[in-house]
Structure 1
Amino acid sequence: MTQKKRLRCAIYTRKSTEEGLDQAFNSLDAQREACAAYILSQKNEGWALLPALYDDGGFSGGSLERPALTRLLADIREGRVDVVVVYKVDRLTRSLNDFARIVDVFDKTGASFVSVTQQFNTTTSMGRLTLNVLLSFAQFEREVIGERIRDKIAQSKAKGMWMGGPVPLGYDIADRKLMPNAAEAKTVKNIFRRYLDLPSVMTLMEELRVDGIVTKLQTMRDGSVRGGQLFVRGPLYHLLSNPIYIGKIRHHSQLYDGQHEPIIDQALWDAVQDKLADAIGSRRERGNSHHTSLLTGMIRDHVDRPMSPSHATKQKRRYRYYVSSVASAVDGTPMKAPALRLAAAEIEQATIYATATLLADQQAILSLPQVDALTLRQRMNASEVMASTLAKEGKARVRQHLIALGLLVIVYPDRIDASISRRLLIAQLDGEAPDAIDDGFRVAIAISTRPERRGHNLRLVVGSRDQRQARIDPELVALLLKAEAARQKLFMGNDPSQSSDRAAERIARLAFLAPDIVAAILDGQQPKSLTPRRLMKQAAIPLDWKSQRKALGF
């Protein structure tokens, strides 16, 4: 009798919250017991349970950043695990994209995946189809839960309830409610009053630094300590503009009467807000004059040369660009890579749009390192506010936000890579000073590009053809109409003099353009380089449609 091959089985368990994990027999134990019983039932098939425990308690299924899952995938890659057993498929992940990445690891190592309550085999196409269907429902359930949480937060804030997050300086938490802290409330009042007596927030920040006044010190559920740091500009602006201090609760752009006591009276609050508004207006005017180029200092080319702002003037019109700086290699020899140039307005607008899109993407915010539910809610709200700010604020204010996020744009001859610092993003969302140590993790933002041919040269164009705004050129459309009329006259052959008219022949050739070229001109989607003058100068437009597209920049 042939002996069955020994299959090493690992059990993976997960629970989204930490509630109940301190019990003697919790949800993770129940999952593991069911999986162990199933493995035992397959003993005749050669299944054997590995002693290692892969338990993720208090981790969401919407992200792969889970310590036990990371260890499990590492063991699979090293060939230590043959079968992964879970209680239900959504214990492994609730995301279709993440599931595809996990299955890819399984395929490369020959490992398989089994759900105790939903028996599948990922090595078959039917098993994958069934899993994808179930994961679609799991992801749908997760999104519905998210919508319910957001609705509950909105309704609770409308009633004036504080919904968690970092506790503001001046308050403590008692029975999930904000209660004034007498000593800290005195500090907050002093900060507001001193701001009115000083010329700027920066001056106030320096005075607070000298006096040793720090942010609120908080002990988190996991025992870690946050806060207790000197005020920097961001948290100080947040404190001075936080309506919590006048007894209000903010939800997006709405303010509701809170259930907590105010610390600051309305007159002092109004005076501070008026001064802040005046300061922002003056800075915006100065910023727009000094920083006409939004990405200065944040954009480089593929050989690590800074791309500096430049401009050219043609017919009294000013065109702005970012151009690779003239630089030499370490040994002093000139770099052989040609300088790159990008239209400034296009790359700036595309960068703002891509960053705002990332901030508005709830999946991107959920993929950040896991935190407790209250902090997660605050991050979701803060990301929406930041996305709206980027879309509406002036250039100087947007530039400050991009710098605070650690934006980096790298331009290649055929693409653009852009990213922001995950560490700085978390600090902005949490309203705290960033960690001193940079972990090196960055979050990619998508800026679409495409190459466009201009004569014999290729240039990088920001934005896909679908995103480009229609630019219907009446002269080009009229030229097509003339071409069709000339073609008909030439084919009719009734006018001998017309047949010898070279101008008419040249125009008539335009009637034989490829249908997609004609459609693009009529829709205003032709390349910027295709002008009526250029089209007329193409005296010998080839009849081959492929050659036409190449000659005209399509």
Structure 2
Amino acid sequence: MRAAIYARQSLDKSGDSLAVSRQVAECRELAERNGWEVAEVYQDNDRSATNGKPRPEFARLLEDLRAGRHDVLICWHTDRLYRRLRDLVDLVELAERRSIKIATVRASDLDLSTPAGRMVASLLGSVASYEVQQKAARQIAANRQRAQNGLVLWARRPFGFDRDGTSVKVVKGEAAEIRKAAKAVLSGATLASVAADLNARGVTTTLGKPWTVTAVRRVLLNPRTAGRVVSKGEDYGGDAPAILDPETADRLGALLRDPARKAAPPSTEVKYLLSGLVRCGRESCDDAVMYATSNAKGVTVYRCRTCYGTRRLDLVDAVVMGVLVERLSRPDALDLLATDVDVTDLREKVVDARQRRDALAGMLADGLLSPDAARTQARRLTDLIDQLERQIADATGADPLAVLAQASDVAAAVERMSLRELREAIRTLMNVRILPSGKGVRFDPRHVALEWRER
């Protein structure tokens, strides 16, 4: 008799398919004892039989059984073959057309061509379904108990917290960022400005991504920041480590959940030349980013969020633009773009990086990479692609700085460029800092410190 072996494992944590291999080995021993010839082995590794998702090898097995390629089906246990009664119906329909015997290593053999065999199979399927539901209920109860004890084992680490075994601990640096953001928002800052500040200083989310308004709001409204444990929408109290005191968290929640608060996404249109680019030169501010705002007299200034020092926006812009135009008007301006880059080689590297990034999906589907590893690799490859494309742009004169450096009249070229393009040229060419000068001191161009970047 021609025998088919079917093996399945719901979750392959190690990725080595050992459980499936053991099933196949024991099924082969059963076939040998009965003198059956194993015609083919079907394996669905890391595939559940209860969630309704396709099992490719099970589907192929049914097609081969319908085609009459096998006389007996061997599995380690019937729950490896089916757990849903819908799958059993498919097998019964086959049995009504062909005499199919199901032999198992650890359960009773089934003859689906007889009423008694179908009744036993149905009972086994019902028991398997019951076990799955009970297991899910036990997992939910266990997760609830862990949450009540402050031991929630999150799938994604929340910003500001980490685990020490099963205990939650506060990450000091990230906690400081949360407190700073909360203070800024309660003082009137927008979520967009907080996100811009974090991104400008190179602070990323726990996934290594830039901050968005939504991400900042999610962190500030996370009950865990106030020491509360919430799981599946249920609040289990405040026994966990906290970053914000309850009063601050409540004020923040009331502010951010206020229906009157503007819900429309902030405009991404650039309005000011150096907002978010210029930094405070005061030593204690540690290069804090300065943003454009209006002072009490209605004058637009660049303000440091740390020391609250300000400088008139129009005067600072005039100094920076004057230096930029003067430098790019020199005969050696193109030296700023000098490079020995092999553009062809760079483009080949870009193609290779894109292909490697595209291949990650297949590796994830095949179980060769975990989701976290795939995300990490995708992020690294995306950063590499961005870096390579920037080098290509620099070498081929496709960036705003190249346009200015090659212009016969730099001042006129500046007038024609968009604000966004000018910002990109300044970002590429120089670091701008506002030096401290003391109260009441008149503006002096020397208070604007420019540092040329190496290309």
TM score, norm. by length of structure 1:
0.41
TM score, norm. by length of structure 2:
0.49
